[in-house]
Amino acid sequence: MIKQLFKEIKKNVVSIWITVISLLVLFSLYLYLPKYEKNIQNVIIEKDLGKEVDVAENVIRKIKEKSQNSLISKIHDSDFVKNSNELLEVLNTPNTEYLYIIFKSGEQFFIALDVSKKDRMEPFEYIQLLPSELPIVNQAIKDMEYKYLIHTNTPTLGLTLYIPFKDKNNINYILIKDYTIKEVQEIKSLVDSIRKAILIVIVFIVLLANVAIVGVIKTLYYKKRSLIDSLTGLYNRNYLEEIENKNLKDFVVIVADVDFFKKINDTYGHLVGDNVLKTVAETIKKNVRENNIVIRYGGEEFLIILNKERSVDNLNYINVAERIRKAVENLKIKINENDYLKTTLSVGIFLDTDKIKTLQEAIKKADVALYKAKTKGRNRIEIYDEENQSSEKALKVSQIKEAIEDKRLFCLYQPIVSLKDGTVSHYEALVRIKDKEGNTIPPYQFLNVIENTFLYTKLTKEVIEYNLKILKDYPDIKVSINLKPSDILNRSTIDILLDIAKDKDVVKRLMLEIVETEDALAYEEIVKIISSLKKAGYIICLDDFGSGYSNFVYLLRLNIDYLKIDANLIKNITTDQVSFEVVKMITGFCKKMKIKTIAEYVENEDILNIIKQIGIDYGQGYYFSKPKQIEELIKSSK
């Protein structure tokens, strides 16, 4: 690789030398300009000072003539002050800010005359000179020669002129003029602009050189790397570099993801997981043509690029995706000699590749469709639709904030039904937002956007307040609300809940559903807080058990009343033996611990029959009811 790099350098040696020489010239010019600017400044300042001093000394001479013996003794004379100020005004140019005469008494200085444009002081008023001015003023008095001070720490280049003189009583005076020299400022601005331009050019050349060098190294690096995934035999993600410049309108982009692959790995180990990936890869490859491209895009994610044919409509490519999905669904992948497992694919398709510019953009759109397939239950195909997608995009933080402030937050409710007698135990509150047109925004479009922000805490408090009103309006129902670990760890949220708990009628009808946490540092604190909520009278339910941490010790320490089994386990319970056994084990454990169990995602009678057989206490899902307004649910239950 190093030899190849030197070859590339030799090929471009002329361009490299031109670049290096250009940089050296520009850098030298950049360093020299401040010296050049300083020299010009000095010339202009000396020239300007000569004029200023001549005029100022002439003014001083006239003031001394009018004061006769002592300037101080004449300051009480208003006519003298008026005439002297008129003389001083000759020095008050448009660029002058401060112009005054001071006199020295002991080691202190006082105002004699002041015609400054702002902050004028009265005669005999004490003036505090700046530390940087004192040495210059004292030196000017000692030498009886004018001095000046250049101010470089101000937005504009300023200059203060100090001209000493004495009256007949040998009292020391200093005429002080604080002003800017327009020409110097113009030169400074011009030099600064030139230096900035040179710096931009230098940075631009360096960046271009870096981009060129990185580009060469990157190209050589990827040429050396293998483009084949060692596990599946498919192309790996690096192969995208080889095809990124292809004409996208000639292709259809499909992204497929193995459902619940993490659970397969965690349950059976990585060897079985690797076997699943190899088998799925072989199945995909068998169900596409040889000239189509299949890439292992991520851990369990596959990218399929189908060639478009002129005489074939889009339905053909959808059929290819469906053929792949069905073939994977029908697989029986051996775990050992006696057992096998089944798996499924979620698939996202992007058909309109002629409307976008890059392959990455096409993949992103297919990935959006894949995400939609997963949120709708997995083992299905979704096609990216630009028009429908625009309505499903996540809200902006500002839109969510506005909706909360405008009280456009509300809850729908889904009943939790006793599997023993079919009665409604309680209702789960599911938060929604209405947009300004009155359309309902589902939670996946706003909850993730504000996660771990102050707005999420505010939303939680609004949900609590909303359901508190519901409980007061409907005294015969119980309601559960969802809390994340971040809500439990928020002191103000807990204070609100503990304050509500003072109403014993309300607290016994408000259940708190808490999502389990993997944060070991937060775990101990959460256990303490939940214990305090239990003492206050709240019913505690652990939500989505089986989706994450799923530690049975966690259950024992939390001392919960209800446990809700994760939907992903319940919806596969009719087809997946692993899901069945896990649910059965959780249920058995909860019965021993006297914890009531709830199965969410009860979508059909087959699932209902199995969870009844296992012994789960309560069910929740579309089989019983979709989320509705509480009024509608109560009315239908009567």
Q: What is the CATH number of the domain that holds 306?
A: 3.30.70.270
The answer to whether 417 and 383 have CB atoms below 8 angstroms apart is no
Angle value at C-alpha 240, between 326 and 253, nearest 5 degrees: 35
Q: Are residues 245 and 168 in the same domain?
A: no
Could you tell me if residue 205 is inside a domain? no
3 state SS of 411: strand
Structure tokens at 628: 């509705």
So what's the pLDDT on residue 431? 95
3 state SS of 319: helix
So what's the pLDDT on residue 153? 59
Q: What is the DSSP track for 463-531?
A: HHHHHHHHHHH-TT--EEEEE-HHHHT-HHHHHHHHHHTTSHHHHTTEEEEEE----HHHHHHHHHHHH
Q: Are residues 450 and 584 in the same domain?
A: yes
Best-predicted range by mean pLDDT among 120-124, 269-273, 524-528, 596-600? 596-600
Other Cβ atoms within 10 Å of 443 Cβ, number: 12
Cα 485 from Cα 141, distance rounded (Å): 75
Indicate the number of domains in the chain.
Answer: 3
What percentage of the chain carries pLDDT values higher than 70?
A: 85
Cα 288 from Cα 525, distance rounded (Å): 53
Phi, psi of 206 (to 5 degrees): -65, -45
Q: Are residues 481 and 340 in the same domain?
A: no
The answer to whether 292 and 378 have CB atoms below 8 angstroms apart is no
Structure confidence at residue 480 as a pLDDT band (50, 70, 90): very high
Q: Are residues 436 and 374 in the same domain?
A: no
Could you tell me if residue 231 is inside a domain? no
The answer to whether 179 and 100 have CB atoms below 8 angstroms apart is no
pLDDT tens digits, 141-167? 899 998 888 876 555 557 888 999 988
Is the pLDDT reported for residue 535 higher than 80? yes
pLDDT tens digits, 412-444? 999 999 999 999 999 999 999 998 888 898 887
Alpha helices by DSSP H, listed for 225-309, are: 240-243, 261-268, 270-286
Could you tell me if residue 172 is inside a domain? yes
Phi, psi of 577 (to 5 degrees): -65, -35
Among 366, 389, 412, the domain boundary falls at: 389
Domain of residue 337, residue span: 238-389
* Encoded amino acid at 634, one letter: I
Q: Which position has the higher pLDDT, 545 or 590?
A: 590
227-242: average pLDDT: 84
Is the pLDDT reported for residue 518 higher than 50? no
120-142: average pLDDT: 89
Is the pLDDT reported for residue 392 higher than 80? no
pTM score above 0.75:
no
pLDDT tens digits, 74-114? 888 888 888 888 888 888 888 888 899 999 888 899 998 98
Among candidates 383, 366, 359, 347, which has minimal Cα distance to 249? 359
| Distances 583 to 323, 342, 378 between C-alpha atoms, Å | 31, 18, 19
Place of tokens 């020409």: 183
Could you tell me if residue 274 is inside a domain? yes
Structure tokens at 455: 């707005």
Alpha helices by DSSP H, listed for 376-453, are: 386-392, 397-405
Q: Are residues 461 and 507 in the same domain?
A: yes
So what's the pLDDT on residue 278? 94
Cα 136 from Cα 141, distance rounded (Å): 9
Cα 36 from Cα 216, distance rounded (Å): 40
Q: Which position has the higher pLDDT, 277 or 377?
A: 277
Cα 158 from Cα 166, distance rounded (Å): 27
Is the pLDDT reported for residue 588 higher than 90? yes
Contacts with 380 (C-beta within 8 Å, 6 or more apart), sequence order: 325, 346, 347, 373
Other Cβ atoms within 10 Å of 594 Cβ, number: 7
Q: Which position has the higher pLDDT, 323 or 312?
A: 323
Structure confidence at residue 8 as a pLDDT band (50, 70, 90): low
CATH code at position 574: 3.20.20.450
Is the pLDDT reported for residue 235 higher than 80? yes
Stretch among 251-265, 309-323, 511-525 having the lowest mean pLDDT: 511-525
Q: Which position has the higher pLDDT, 496 or 185?
A: 496
Could you tell me if residue 224 is inside a domain? no
pLDDT tens digits, 340-382? 888 999 999 999 888 888 888 888 888 888 878 887 778 999 9
Contacts with 248 (C-beta within 8 Å, 6 or more apart), sequence order: 353, 354, 356, 357, 358, 359, 362
The answer to whether 442 and 395 have CB atoms below 8 angstroms apart is no
Among 157, 186, 215, the domain boundary falls at: 186
CATH code at position 110: 3.30.450.20
Is the pLDDT reported for residue 197 higher than 50? yes
So what's the pLDDT on residue 520? 42
Cα 399 from Cα 381, distance rounded (Å): 31
Q: Are residues 526 and 412 in the same domain?
A: yes
Find the helix or strand (DSSP H, E) in which 164 lies.
strand 158-166
Q: Are residues 504 and 590 in the same domain?
A: yes
Is the pLDDT reported for residue 617 higher than 90? yes
Structure confidence at residue 474 as a pLDDT band (50, 70, 90): very high
Cα 611 from Cα 235, distance rounded (Å): 43
Q: Are residues 55 and 92 in the same domain?
A: yes
* Residue 547 DSSP symbol: S
Q: Which position has the higher pLDDT, 449 or 331?
A: 331
Q: Are residues 260 and 172 in the same domain?
A: no
Q: Are residues 289 and 417 in the same domain?
A: no
Place of tokens 């990185």: 214
Q: Are residues 592 and 611 in the same domain?
A: yes
* Residue 248 DSSP symbol: G
The answer to whether 620 and 598 have CB atoms below 8 angstroms apart is yes
**How high is the mean pLDDT of the chain?**
84
pLDDT tens digits, 13-63? 566 677 778 777 777 776 766 666 666 666 667 777 778 888 888 888 888
601-618: average pLDDT: 94
Could you tell me if residue 338 is inside a domain? yes
So what's the pLDDT on residue 391? 46
So what's the pLDDT on residue 106? 86
Q: Are residues 95 and 37 in the same domain?
A: yes
Find the helix or strand (DSSP H, E) in which 456 lies.
helix 454-473
Among 186, 219, 251, the domain boundary falls at: 186
Could you tell me if residue 484 is inside a domain? yes
Best-predicted range by mean pLDDT among 70-74, 163-167, 574-578? 163-167
So what's the pLDDT on residue 66? 82
The answer to whether 540 and 509 have CB atoms below 8 angstroms apart is no
Could you tell me if residue 427 is inside a domain? yes
Best-predicted range by mean pLDDT among 219-233, 328-342, 620-634? 620-634
